[in-house]
Every structure is written in C-alpha cells, then in structure tokens.
Structure 1
Amino acid sequence: MAIRRQRIASIMVALAIAASTTRAFAADLPQRDGPGARTTNKVPHIQIGAELVPELSDQLVRQTATLPGVEIRKTVISLPGAKGFWISEQIELAHPEAIVGGREFAHIHPDGSLHISLSPDRAKEAVEAGWADFHPWSHRPGWAGFVLLYTPRSSEEADVVLQLIFDGYEYVTGRKL
C-alpha cells in the first residue's frame, strides 16, 4: 500500500513538472548557452568530450520512468550501458514510424547525452537552438526527427532536455501530458 502511494505521488510530481515545464517551453526553445557540442558524424553517433553530471542524468531517467506506459529497459539500438525509454504495448502509437527500434522512443547514453524521436519540426528547432544534432541517418525514412540531445550541464539545461523528452513522448504516442 505504501509503495502504491509512493508511486502515485511520483506520478503526480512528474505530471506537475510536465505541466509547468510545458508551459515554460511550449513556444520556442531557449537558445543553449555556449558553443555547440561536438559529435561524431558517423554511427555510433556520440557526443565528444561530454562531462556527465550523474545527478542530472539520474533525474532524467527517474522523471521519464514516471510517464504513462514508459519503462526503462536495456536499449536495443545503442551502445552497451545505454538505457532505453520504452513505451509499453498497452499504449497505442500515433507515429510508430518514428521509432527506430522496438518501442524504444529514446535512450540515454552513459555520458548523459541521449537519442530521441521528435517530430521533424521540433527536431529542427532543437538543432537550431543548440540543444541537439541530427543523427547521421536522419535523411532515411523514419529517421527525420531522430536527434542526439546534448548532455545537460545544469539543472536548467536538464529541464529543457526533459521538456524535449516529453515532446518526443507526446509525438510518438499522440498523448498530451
């Protein structure tokens, strides 16, 4: 009973965060400070020289796990050590073509960067605002909105990355948070 109450409380907190974050970033993404992160231009597509802030990475995983129907699993499309963000079979997908492996709509790398399926428009906006880099295969069918989100360096940057995770979830599922 206590575990169930704790899970409900976690979901309520995540939904409150989602609501406040969505209001904060619903229009345009803020411009990311500093120079753009460097990435490889081939597969594996990774960020170069990223400095992990473990607390921020853990926070992103915990908050993503509270989304309806999301499970954290071993990735099927990334390098060892990455964690996949999977949408359960009980959730209907609005854009199944946007998922490049299984029902994994995103995965987080050990360095805190992550790949995610966004709408092509939101992916372009994230790249232009300095938050992401298009995957080298983004010209292929189904990969148009697949981007690498850079490792967050602060809690403010983690909030933007979390908003983009919510955006990816909403795009792939068609559900509004």
Structure 2
Amino acid sequence: MQLDQFAPAGIQAELWRRMAALTGIRTGRSKISMPSSRALHLDQATATGPADAFLVETEFTHLHGDGSGSLHLALPSAVAREVIATGRGERHPAVALGLAHPTLVMLFGPRDADELEVVWRLVQASHAYARSGDNES
C-alpha cells in the first residue's frame, strides 16, 4: 500500500484513460483487490501469456481505488527487477510468502507527467507480456 506522495487526480484520470484504451481488454472490478480498484482483463482469446503474466484469471493489472494512484501488475522478470532496483515500485508482499509470482509488483502512483510516461510504458509492457508472453517487453 502506498502511504504518501499520491498521484494527483488528473494524472490518475489520464493514466486510466490510456489503460482503458488498450487493445483487447475489458475494464471492470479487480478480482483480487479492494472493490474500488479498477482492473484490466484480457479477452480469453488474447490472454496467451504465461501464468505469471496475470494477477488472477485474465487480470494483468489494476489501479488501486484508495486515491494513491498505485497499481499492481505483472511484468516480465527482468522488467520487474528493474522496477524494484530503480525504486519505482516494490514486490507484492505475497511474493515473499510464496503466494504470488515474483513478476507481481506494485508501482507507485505517478506524481507528474514524466512519471506518468514511465508508468504508462510499464503498463504497456504488462499488457504485451499478458498477450504474448514476450519476456523482453
């Protein structure tokens, strides 16, 4: 859970607008997060990535509804490691308990336009990974 330095509402709205426009997805409630979280689910036909590309079923990312602008998403292993090493996010606590794949990370909410672009590229990488299993995204 992100505790401070929340993403401004306008930046969160722009991020969600971009997320909802991705190809082959449907938006809806998260199947594993709080009811206020908004998730992206792939259609069954395009959810062809490996099991570790998904949070649950065909859900590959969700934007938390707690006002922080943070997200949980699955990323290719190398990208997940880079996110953690650069401080842009952290592993989900369930990873340490052995309950989730190490590809599951929490991204901190983007606070400005530059951070929005970084988070947007990571959401796109998650989408590509879930659609194709492309571990180089």
TM band (smaller chain): 0.7 to 0.9
2:23 paired residue among 52, 65, 68: 68
Partner of 2:112: 154
Letter in 2 for 1:169: H
Give the CA deviation at 1:106: 0.5
Deviation readout 1:63-84 (Å, 9 max, x if unpaired): 1112111121011111121101
- CA distance in 1 between partners of 2:81 and 2:56 (Å): 21
Partner of 2:69: 112
Letter in 2 for 1:152: P
2:83 paired residue among 122, 126, 135: 126
Q: TM-score, normalised by structure 2?
A: 0.87
Cα pair distance change 1:160/1:116, threshold 3 Å? same
Is the 1:108–1:115 contact (alpha carbons within 8 Å) kept by the matching residues of 2? yes
- CA distance in 1 between partners of 2:45 and 2:106 (Å): 27
Of 59-68 and 114-123, the range deviating more from structure 2: 59-68
Q: Which runs of 5+ in 1 are unaligned?
A: 1-45
Asked if 1:166 corresponds to 2:124, the answer is yes
More contact order relative to length (CA 8 Å, sep ≥ 6)? 2
Of 166-175 and 153-162, the range deviating more from structure 2: 166-175
Runs of 4+ deviating beyond 6 Å: none
- CA distance in 2 between partners of 1:57 and 1:47 (Å): 14
Greater gyration radius: 1
Percent identity, aligned pairs only? 25
Q: TM-score, normalised by structure 1?
A: 0.68
Asked if 1:49 corresponds to 2:7, the answer is no
Partner of 1:91: 46
Tell me the C-alpha RMSD between the 2 structures.
1.9
- CA distance in 2 between partners of 1:55 and 1:70 (Å): 23
Is the 1:64–1:70 contact (alpha carbons within 8 Å) kept by the matching residues of 2? no
Q: Which runs of 5+ in 2 are unaligned?
A: none
